[in-house]
Structure 1
Amino acid sequence: MNVVINPGSGPVDEATEQHAAGNMAVFADDLRQRGTAVDTFTRRPDADYGDGRYAYTLHLTDDITAEIQMPGLPVEQVRYLSEPGQNIWDFPRLYVDDSSWIWEFALGVVEDIAKGVDE
């Protein structure tokens, strides 16, 4: 019997830093559209997991940040939003402060961080 826990949390093959940077821009825009203030994000290569995810610090305010490990695949392969035709099993997870989340749920986690709510 096979049991799958946290599908999409494994290594991300064929990932690139360029895709991860583009994904971070879209992720920040998604947060802004949901009403979360996002200042900017900065690349943190020293914190990369080394599995096709690239580390960034997402600056929400002057003193509130979140570490994001963003998969380096094209955004349409990472940005799961429960839309028709999307299968959650096909999407890699990103990591927010070391916990893995599918994009849609990662947005909510970051919103809570911005509000000062514990996960």
Structure 2
Amino acid sequence: MWGRILDVEAALAARSYAVPGVVVVQVNDDIAGGTFALDVDASGHAACSLTTASPDLVIGASDLATLWFGCPHGTPSLSVMHSRGRVRAQARPIGWLSAFFSTTWRRQELTNF
């Protein structure tokens, strides 16, 4: 499955997260790119807004969609994306960022190929 998030603020705010905290995400994309502050409370609910702060995570649009949608066996590991050079962790350890972006939400498979 391939997807592209066009409203990064709404998409990141609509998802649940496992770890509370604030993460600044720079999304590299010609249409929906920017730097966003993602603020997650203790219940896993998020608020997201544009910011000028330095990013903790730099990610491309396609990898952001992969992270957002998840996969059948859970959220794709940012550690794996990082080891393949697909994302960059700036100010925080990649393991912490991977835990932050994990979720209990799982996408529903409607067909099996």
TM over 0.5: no
Task: Give the TM-score of the pair, scaled to structure 2.
Answer: 0.31
Task: Give the TM-score of the pair, scaled to structure 1.
Answer: 0.31
